[in-house]
Structure formats: C-alpha cells, structure tokens
Structure 1
C-alpha cells in the first residue's frame, strides 16, 4: 500500500503534505528525513506504524511505515535544501526558468498590491 503511494507522481505532494503534520504523529515519518543516508539516523515512525490520515483512496486503509531501507534513496533528498540546490545547479535551463517564475510572481504581487492602493 505504501509503495503504491510513493510513486514519483505522488511522492512530492505527499511529502509536502506530510511536512505540514510534522508535530503530529500522523505521517511524521517524512517530517524530518535524515540529511545523510546513515544507519544511525532513522525515520520518526518505526516500521509497522500505522500512518493515520495518509490514506488517499476512498475505501483504502491507512498505510503502514516501512523500514527506511525499503524507501528509494531520492525520497530522502526531497526535503533537503542543499541537495535540491546542487541538483538545480546542474541544470542551468531549469534554474533560469525557476528564477524567472520567482521574479514574475513577485511582479504580480507588487502589481496586485498597487491595485489595492487606488
């Protein structure tokens, strides 16, 4: 069940969603992933823990946490800002597009703010 949820198309959204529950026991296994893949650093939910509230299927059950070594390695890097910056530096086109979108977003916010001043 968890493997089905951790497909690449769903994983980013699930992790960002799980990040919002970092203080609750629900989905806390991805709230603070280890920075370096290390045997001493573990998820916050031990293997076999029922992850309440993480079910996305209408008639499904809440998934159980798996051991850390059963999750793909790229999953632990999704919330690591350093790893994401390194990955972005390798693709200048993607980095330029991201900067352009950020500037565009700021320009839109500023224009909307000025509209409220009238």
Structure 2
C-alpha cells in the first residue's frame, strides 16, 4: 500500500475522489499544509488512525495513517496553491499548454453556445 501511495497519479485520483464529497471522514489523509500548527506537524491525522471511507478496493480494508515522514515530500505540496503556482511558473512549456487548453475550452464553449442559438 505504501508503494501505491507514492505514485503521483494514485494520489491525485484519491484527491479528486475525496473532493467529490461534502464531508469526508478521511480528510486528514490528504492534509492541508500546516498554517496555524508548527512546521513539523503536517497532517491533521495522527499516525495509526484508521481512515474510514478511504478504501478503494472491493475486498480491501480502510488504510491506516502513516507518520508524516513516511509520505513523500511532494504530497504536502499537492493542495498548496502557491507551491503549484511556483512549480507551473518554473516550467514555461507546461504553463503555455495550460493556457492554451483553457483558451481552447472557452472557444469550444462559445462555439457550442452559438450552435444552440440557431
């Protein structure tokens, strides 16, 4: 399970899944960056806590929270908007691609709207 948690695509899918619920019992699993807490404590869930509702396998069990130092460093930056913005600014090609996609999406929406007006 730990190796599976270290894959970025697996973690992103869990984040998307967790955000789809209004109240999530496993919210501490994907902890927000520490703001009011000290920097050594990153997650809101103590190690060893059962994360109810986070099981994605049919016959699996709910995972247990690990100590913060056992999670990869990039995990703590996933929900930090400033870190993601800095990361995007460092890669101009990725930033241009993201802007292109956004403009393209808007163009498609506008074209679909105009088609529906006929």
Q: Normalization by structure 2: what TM-score?
A: 0.82
CA contact (8 A) 1:78 1:84 kept: yes
SS in structure 1 of the partner of residue 49 of structure 2? coil
Q: Normalization by structure 1: what TM-score?
A: 0.82
Shift of 1:18: 2.1
Pairwise mapping of residues 1-118 of structure 1 onto structure 2 (< 5 A)? Answer: 1-21=1-21, 23-25=23-25, 27-30=26-29, 32-34=31-33, 38-39=39-40, 41-118=41-118
CA contact (8 A) 1:22 1:31 kept: no
Shift of 1:31: 5.1
Q: Compared with structure 1, are the counterparts of its residues 31 and 4 closer, same or farther at alpha carbon in structure 2 (3 Å cutoff)?
A: closer
**C-alpha separation between the residues in 1 aligned to 2:21 and 2:3?**
20
Shift of 1:35: 5.0
